[in-house]
Structure 1
Amino acid sequence: MADQSSVRQRKKGARGTTPAPASDDEVLPKAITKNVASSKSSKKKVNIGHLVTFSIVTALAFVTRFYKLNHPNEVVFDEVHFGKFASFYLQRTYFFDVHPPFGKLLFALMGWFVGFDGDFKFDNIGDSYIDNKVPYVAFRTMPALLGSLTVSVVYLTMWESGYSVPAALLAAGLVLFDNAHIGQTRLILLDATLIFSMACSIFAYVRFYKMRHVPFSRKWWKWLLLTGVALSCVISTKYVGVFTFVTIGTAVAIDLWGLLDINTGLTIQEFGYHFLARAVGLIIVPFCFYLFWFQVHFAILYRSGTGDDFMTPAFQETLSDNLMTLSSTNIHYYDKITLRHKDTKAYLHSHTARYPLRYDDGRISSQGQQVTGYPHNDTNNQWIVLPAADLAEQKTALKVKSGDVIRLLHAVTDTMLLSHDVASPYFPTNQEFTTVDRETAIQRINDTLFELKVEGVRVGHDFKTMSSQFKLIHYPSKVAMWTHTKPLPEWGFKQQEINGNKNVQQTSNIWYADDIPSLPENDPRNDKTPKKVKSLPFLVKWFELQRAMFHHNNALTSSHPYASHPIQWPYLLRGVSFWTKNDTREQIYFVGNPLGWWLASSLLAVFAGIIGADQVTKRRGIDALDFRTRSKLYNSTGYFFIAWATHYVAFFIMGRQLFLHHYLPAHLASSLVTGALLDFVFNSEGQDETVPEHVKAAQSNKKPVVRTLTGVLPSSPSEPIKATALSWIVGSVVLAVIIGGFLFFAPLTYGTPGLSVEEILQRKWLGYDLHFAK
């Protein structure tokens, strides 16, 4: 039994040095064999080959991303969205999008730099930038710059992880000469910002981990905080950036688990410092930056705009020029009002025509008067608000309040709105809405009662036009009045069906009062003096926007002709058509470099096979790998593999629309794995195959040793391994093949030149749905 006191004695200076691993059987990083003083005094020799290769790779990244950036000079694919959002920012008008604001703010910043006024709204694919005098090249420069730097970061990540120049060159080359990465970073899209931030997060954590032998030093804090800033940029661009948090979080969890080991010599208090530092740097700092971008978002967008309808009335009243601020009016009993559905904008409508005796499926209706949704405003949309009490006696007008139980009288036909236990035309599970005459309404009074439930306010709050969004709940049956866009047959004049929805919580049940058409001239409510713009606390607005963003993101479930499934992505089975021009037969088709994708996907399986084989042979007493090779394979390459898995596997459980570009972060991680395996196969022989001397000494003396700070990363900040001639040859051959694939598909990436039918057919490798193939 080891003497615990000897371990306790060695904890002194634990923050400054990292002792040796306990055993070669443990999968650990390489030990730090030099003390801090010598590591500080020694300087790495300048590696000319590394500098030259890095410079060439960076230069080529800029060339491939900026080549013919001005083509096409028309709106391409999703530029209709993100260019439009930049215009909204520049005109300060509120809009709604399911993505956080950071990436869109970068585009707005670029537009502001070049003096763009935001008048052009990017409404349609194919709209001319030249005719509308849009500085589109400046907008595209931002993603092209970030895409170019991504290649450099990939190279540096491999180099700082201790891999050879050929390995770093191959990993960077897979991204450098990938048609999909180039295609997404040449257009006004968010993916360049997302992928660059993800690459920076992985790189910064590698640099932070290499500082583990000097915890809480200035450089240690610098790289920890830079990791947090990079993570904040990822999550502030798209919510799928949470996968990068999972990647870094997994590495941190493994690292902290190693630190918790008593053999590290850390007290619980010291372990707590490590935990709190990582919590601050990797959770609190990113969250604060995340909130900051939303604060900027709200500060810029202070005017009413297209996004108003996605927000609650309280939120909308914080925007200047908003209709609610300008013309919201209290509604009184016996007012004649028009009601509109929030989502479809259809008016609640009725007319003398009746439901047919039988529907197409044989079900029988009540043959009552039709109640429908109608897109145009006319007198048949007018309803009189009545109290639930006596209908015959009109009392002094009182304000209608949230929570009141009311009745609605159709003004033109003098019939009362009613719902009952009869199936609606399209939904057998939903109740029919109809109207009945006053006499019948008195006899069936309960069926004519509706609770007015205004959203976001307490019971007793005033019911107003425009600003009060409400659900009309049938009092006896507790169903909500609802409509949808599928038109009724000819007997319903192609208008929308109105029915009672049993799912009361559904957000599509919301309506609002559009207007009071005939207020008396002497009514004080005719005074439309603009009301003062209100304010809400930042966190209230932030929480509301978060709920709306998550709801609408999850609602993106409809089919799309170019949507694809995650199982198709690693094999590049299909792409996406971005843009076409019939006159010149030019097109932009979003697809990766098949040769590079197939290689990276294959080597992911090879890596899993190597890990499996190593585990089996170890169980049988065969140690096929030396200590350092196994450490790098499990910790460093394993880190990249975890990055791939976290950015890919989660998509299998998503129900929303998915496209090929969702795989790009995972593809970048698979490129890192590919480069790492090149070193594993061709450069392992040059490494020391023995257990480190300090481990042997500890084992022979049978004395307790303090374990290194572990994690899923390479070990000490030592020189990258030297490349063998064979690794240079193999890496160069593979890279040449990848370049060939890139050049072959380049016309589809850059949208020029136009291809003949024969040339297009040559590129339909996996049945890609290319245009002009006939």
Structure 2
Amino acid sequence: MATPTPNNTLRQRNVKKNVGVSPIADAELDSYVKANTTAKAAGSEREYQLGFVVVTVLAFLTRFWGISHPNEVVFDEVHFGKFASYYLERTYFFDVHPPFGKLLFAFMGWLVGYDGHFHFENIGDSYIVNKVPYVAFRSMPALLGALTVSVVYLIMWESAYSLPACIVAAGLVLLDNAHIGQTRLILLDATLVFTMACSLLCYIKFYKLRHEPFSRKWWKWLILTGFALSCDISTKYVGTFAFVTIGCAVIIDLWDLLDIKRVGGALTLPEFGKHFAARAFGLIIMPFLFYLFWFQVHFAILSRSGPGDDFMTPEFQETLSDNVMLANSVTLNYYDTVTIRHKETKAYLHSHEDRYPLRYDDGRVSSQGQQVTGYPFNDTNNYWQIIPQDNNQQMGRAVKNSDILRLRHVLTDTILLSHDVASPYYPTNQEFTTVSQEDAYGERQADTLFEVRLMGGKPGQEVKTISGHFKLIHNPSKVAMWTHTKPLPEWGFKHQEINGNKQIAPSSNVWFFEDLPTLPEDDARRVREEKKVKTLPFLRKWFELQRSMFWHNSQLTSSHPYASFPYQWPFLLGGVSFWTNAETRQQIYFLGNPVGWWIASSLLAVYAGIVLADQFTLRRGMDALDHRSRSRLYNSTGFFFLAWATHYFPFYVMGRQLFLHHYLPAHLASTLVTGALVEFVFAAEPAENEITYQAAKAGKKPAVKRHITARERFAGTSMLGSWIAAAVILGLAAFGWWFFLPLTYGYPGLTVEQVLRRKWLGYDLHFAK
């Protein structure tokens, strides 16, 4: 084995010291290196500006061209268009996504004078007939989608990459059918991807000012980074991944600042503390405050009762005007006959004379007791009478929070009971049944007692219909009455199973008393009093909404014909059907540009291979890369690769439904890696520039300019190679974009033969026969 020379050893030490994940490499020399190497080889500042203008104009053309087609509701426009209408009507709605992206749509509707009368009920509903300014709505994501291409170009430019590298990265986003498709419709992903890209750009500009700490520009770009991150997570919760990207870079940056041997002088611990506090303020505290601000706007606008009321507690609903349910609530007394309904599934607590079978399908034995089920329709078998624990309470006494009581099934004159027998579907949960009055007040007396536990209720608070959400807790065993949507077999008439859930905390255990069906209309309790709209502290409303959003987000686990897995996305193995028109044979099929995606995914693997090969050669005492190339490979390109990884790999641990559009932020990061590798492979710096670079790093001016050397002539040749590589990559991407354009824009209609030619990987296209 060859022993490395002292010089090689020293060089390797320097390499290790500069390996990390930073947006740019050695930013203190950025202006010098850019002026003396990159700009000389790749073009002047004016050429960069010209490239920026051309890319931006083309981005607007591709996003806005034919944006009025189709003139009817497409795919998830039924959701996000509807939410914009609710904002404009000020009626409360519920959604699993934060409000920022939806507020932008509402703002656009407000600008054009739209009143929100159309609720986007069905895919295919006509915008023209219903007089909806849908082009204005679609213009918002189209604008952000076009600007995303510009931001990608600026990221590469600010990172001091060559002009071909900038054009390749921006061009792959410009010519991508998935990015175009998502930005021409009333969807949230254009906002998400744009703010994610802005967060990368702002952090790069902040990082370049790290040798001017606490200056006005330094603070400006730090705060703007935090604002972009806030807008990202305020659009969708997957915006958290951008925080991870920036957070990793910040941690490495702080670790370098802590180094007592750092270039530029060591920081004292108080100075380091200021740096840490500034970043914590700009990238954690400020984004959180911005995040809260959008929810404050959300609550301020949605002041009227609406379709989202059912997702919130009665206390929250009382803050909304015109709340019909709360206006109809009635105080509940003992011996009242009531109907009881499950908050989540809307099923009624129901019973009938039929009994559980002796054995279930899995061989377990039941009690053969009377069936207690969940039934979706109102029926006299849903009537239950509230009986006090001692059965001697005076009639007319109100039922209160934490009272112990019994429930009598009116039609069969039996008492609700739960006991230590496994339920039909859940061996760990208790069966619910009913028993005769004789047993209920005899040997089974304890098993018929239940506690009414109001949600957020105060001690002694009266229970009311509609507004009194509660959990019914079996007193001896401490299980909560629960139901779910899986239907029982034929012996249970396809009703829902009712059982005792040992986990009391989940919100799926919540029920409410819906009505008093036998209460006379002239009863004093039915007298309606004008109720004033109440107020709740903002943070209490925010916490309640957050809990509900997170819970419902976690429940998005059902199957979907167009759902996909993360391992399919980089290879573009499938897409999503957005819209079809059988008469014209037109369709919108959400699909990326296969050629562009395969190139970007391949170069991600190439990057990983280059890094592994470099580490292997260094281990063997060989140093094939100059200082600046390696620094850019590990720092700048590494930062882009980190952005891809943090926006891609977390999806593998998610249990919710996933679709191709979830990969768009990661795809954008992969185009940045592609552009960076074009420069690395085809425009490597000549040795002379390494000498100039090291001289500048040592604080020396370069030697008197010499005549063009052979190596410098090689640099010009390599730039020609990078231009050729850029032309080949974008040429192939342009072909893919053009070939799949009819599926992205929804026109023109395709013949059977034309559709079949586009089923490259068996894409599930319509009109293929």
When residues 487 and 274 of structure 1 are mapped into structure 2, their CA distance, relative to the original with a 3 A threshold, is: closer
Shift of 1:420: 2.4
Deviation of 1:304 after TM superposition, in Å, equals 1.1
What is the distance in 1 between the residues matched to 2:473 and 2:543? 27
Which amino acid in structure 2 is aligned with residue 724 of structure 1?
A: M
Quick check: 2:29–2:697 contact (8 Å CA) kept in 1? no
Q: Offset of 1:148 from its aligned partner?
A: 0.2
For residues 186-236 of structure 1, what are the alpha-carbon distances to aligned partners after superposition, in whole Å with 9 as ceiling and x for unaligned?
110000000000111101111111112211111111111111111111011
- CA distance 1:381–1:202, shift in 2 (3 Å): same
Counterpart-to-counterpart distance in 1, 2:62 and 2:468:
53
Output the amino acid matched with 1:760.
V
Aligned equivalent of 2:302: 301
1:754 CA drift (Å) = 0.9
Q: Distance in 2 between matches of 1:253 and 1:493?
A: 59
1:417 counterpart residue number: 416
CA distance in 2, matches of 1:271, 1:193: 35
Instruction: Check whether the contact 2:172–2:733 (CA below 8 A) recurs between aligned residues.
Output: yes
Aligned to 2:461: 461
Deviation of the 1:249 alpha carbon: 0.9
Query: Distance in 2 between the 1:296 and 1:689 partners?
Result: 54
**8 A Cα contact 1:385 1:409, kept in partner:** yes
1:23 deviates by 4.3
Does the CA-based 8 Å contact 2:28-2:208 persist in structure 1? no
Q: Which amino acid aligns with 2:319?
A: T
Counterpart check, 1:108 vs 2:103: no
Deviation at 1:593, TM superposition (A): 0.6
Where in structure 2 are the equivalents of 1:492-503 lying within 5 Å?
492-503=492-503
Equivalent residue, structure 2, for 1:706: none
CA distance in 1, matches of 2:605, 2:108: 42
What is the correspondence of 1:91-102 to structure 2 with a 5 Å cutoff?
91-102=89-100
Tell me the secondary structure at the aligned position of residue 500 of structure 2: strand
Deviation of residue 682 (structure 1)? 1.3
- TM-score (normalizing by structure 1): 0.90
Does the Cα contact within 8 Å between 1:566 and 1:652 map onto a contact in 2?
yes
Partner AA of 1:692 in structure 2: Q
Q: Equivalences for 1:559-638 in 2 at 5 Å? A: 559-638=559-638
> Post-superposition shift, 1:363?
4.7
- Structure 2 counterparts to residues 260-271 of structure 1, below 5 A: 260-263=258-261, 264-271=265-272
Q: What is the rounded CA distance, in whole Å, between the counterparts of 1:570 and 1:509 in structure 2?
A: 41
Q: How does 1:276-291 map to 2 (within 5 A)?
A: 276-291=277-292
Deviation sequence 1:425-481 (CA, Å, 0-9, x none): 444443332222221211121121111111122443221111111111122222222
Question: Closer, same or farther in 2 for the Cα pair 1:722/1:79, shift >3 Å?
Answer: farther
Distance 1:84 1:31, change over 3 A: closer
Contact 1:335 1:384 in 2 (8 A): yes
* Alpha-carbon distance in 1 for matches of 2:247, 2:293: 22
The worse-fitting range, judged by mean Cα deviation, of 277-286 and 167-176 is 277-286
Does 1:693 pair with 2:695? yes
Q: Which deviations, in whole Å up to 9, do the C-alpha atoms of 1:47-99 show, x marking residues without a partner?
A: 22212211111110001001110111111111111011111111111111111
CA apart distance, 1:320: 1.2
Q: Which amino acid aligns with 1:27?
A: N
Which residue pairs with 1:30 in the alignment? 26
TM-score (norm 2): 0.90
Residue pair 1:201, 1:230 contacting (<8 A) in 2 also: yes
Structure 2 counterparts to residues 660-675 of structure 1, below 5 A? 660-675=660-675
Aligned pairs for 1:175-186 within 5 A: 175-186=173-184
Match of 2:682 in 1: 682
The residue type paired with residue 285 of structure 1 is M
Q: How many angstroms does 1:723 deviate by? A: 7.5
Q: How many residues align?
A: 726
Pick 1 or 2: higher relative contact order, CA cutoff 8 A, min separation 6.
1
8 Å Cα contact 2:372/2:432 also seen in 1: yes
Aligned to 1:332, the other structure's residue is in SS state coil
Aligned AA (2:483): T
Query: Once the two structures are superposed, what CA deviation does each residue of 1:518-566 show, in whole Å capped at 9, x if it has no partner?
Result: 3356743222113221111000111111111111111111111111111
How far, CA to CA, are the matches of 1:409 and 1:452 in structure 2?
15
Instruction: Say if 1:83 and 1:287 are closer, same or farther in 2 by CA, change over 3 A.
Output: same
SS of the residue corresponding to residue 587 of structure 2 reads strand
Matched, 1:767 2:762: yes
Q: Deviation per CA, 1:315-343: give whole Å up to 9, x if none.
A: 11111122343122221211221111111
Q: 1:484–1:496: 8 Å Cα contact kept in structure 2?
A: yes
Verify: 1:433 aligned to 2:435, yes or no: no
Q: In the alignment, what sits opposite 2:158?
A: 160
Cα deviation, residue 116, structure 1: 1.5
Question: For residues 268 and 322 of structure 1, do their structure 2 counterparts lie closer, same or farther at Cα, with a shift above 3 Å needed?
Answer: same
Aligned-pair distance for 1:265? 2.5
Cα distance, 1:696 vs structure 2: 6.2
What's the CA shift for 1:388? 1.0
Kept in 2, the 8 Å contact 1:163–1:721? The answer is: no
Residue in structure 1 matched with residue 3 of structure 2 by the alignment: none
C-alpha separation in 1, matches of 2:577 and 2:448: 53
Separation in structure 1 between the aligned mates of residue 152 and residue 348 of structure 2, nearest angstrom:
56
Quote how far apart the aligned CAs of 1:360 are.
Answer: 5.0
Q: For structure 1, which segment, 526-535 or 227-236, has the greater mean C-alpha deviation from structure 2 after superposition?
A: 526-535
Give the SS at the match of 2:740. helix
Instruction: Write out per-residue CA displacement over residues 165-187 of structure 1, whole angstroms, 9 at most, x where no aligned residue.
Output: 11000000000000000011111
Q: Deviations over 1:392-431 (max 9, x none)?
A: x452432211211100112233221122233334444433
Shift of the 695–119 alpha-carbon distance from structure 1 to 2, 3 Å rule, reads: closer
Cα pair 2:576 2:591 within 8 Å, conserved:
yes
Could you say which residue in structure 2 is the equivalent of 1:47? 45
Q: Secondary structure at the match of 1:592?
A: coil
Q: Is 2:336 the counterpart of 1:335? A: yes
Equivalent residues of 1:764, 1:770 under 8 A apart: yes
In the TM superposition, residue 689 of structure 1 has moved relative to its aligned partner by 2.5
Residue 532 of structure 2 aligns with which residue? 532
Change in Cα spacing, 1:218 to 1:722, as seen in structure 2 (3 Å) is: farther
Alignment partners' CA distance in 2, 1:353 and 1:654: 42
Supply the distance in 2 between the matched residues of 1:275 and 1:445 (Cα, whole angstroms). 64
Counterpart CA distance in 2 for 1:85 and 1:362 is 49
Out of 128, 133, 136, the position equivalent to 1:135 is 133
Question: Shift in Å at residue 307 of structure 1?
Answer: 1.1
| Alignment partner of 2:232 out of 218, 231, 234 | 234
Query: Which amino acid counterpart does residue 137 of structure 2 have in structure 1?
Result: F
Give CA-to-partner distance per residue, 1:338-394, whole Å, 9 cap, x none: 1111112122222333344455555544343332222222333221111111x3x45
Q: Are the equivalent residues in 2 in contact too, given 1:470–1:511 (CA < 8 A)?
A: yes
Q: How far does residue 495 in structure 1 lie from its aligned partner after superposition?
A: 3.0
CA change 1:727–1:33 in 2 (3 A) is: closer
The 3 A distance-change label for structure 1 pair 357 and 625 is closer
> Counterpart of 2:724?
729
Q: State the distance in 2 between where 1:510 and 1:26 align.
A: 58
2-structure distance, mates of 1:106, 1:697:
50
Aligned to 2:557: 557
Q: Distance in 1 between matches of 2:717 and 2:203?
A: 23
Unaligned 5+ runs, structure 1: 1-20, 699-719
Aligned counterparts of 2:637 and 2:194: Cα–Cα separation in 1: 20
Aligned CA distance change for structure 1 residues 721 and 217 (closer, same or farther; 3 Å) = farther
The CA deviation string for residues 572-597 of structure 1, in whole angstroms up to 9 with x for no partner, is: 11111111111111111111111111
Structure 2 residue aligned with 1:715: none
Task: Name the amino acid aligned to 1:246.
Answer: V
Tell me which amino acid in the other structure corresponds to 1:737: L
SS of the aligned residue for 2:461 comes to coil
CA-to-aligned-CA distance 1:236-263 (integer Å, 9 cap, x gap)? 1011111101111111111111111113
Percent identity, aligned pairs only?
68
Structure 2, unpaired ranges of 5+: 1-11, 20-24, 701-714
Structure 1 residue 132, shift from structure 2 partner:
1.0
Aligned to 1:399: 398
Residue 146 of structure 1: how far off its partner (Å): 0.2
**Structure 2: distance between partners of 1:616 and 1:394:** 84
Alpha-carbon separation, structure 2, partners of 1:696 and 1:439: 97
Alpha carbons 1:678, 1:727 under 8 Å: kept: yes
SS at match of 1:543: helix
Q: For the structure 1 residues 546 and 721, does the alpha-carbon distance in structure 2 shift closer, same or farther, using more than 3 Å as the test? A: farther
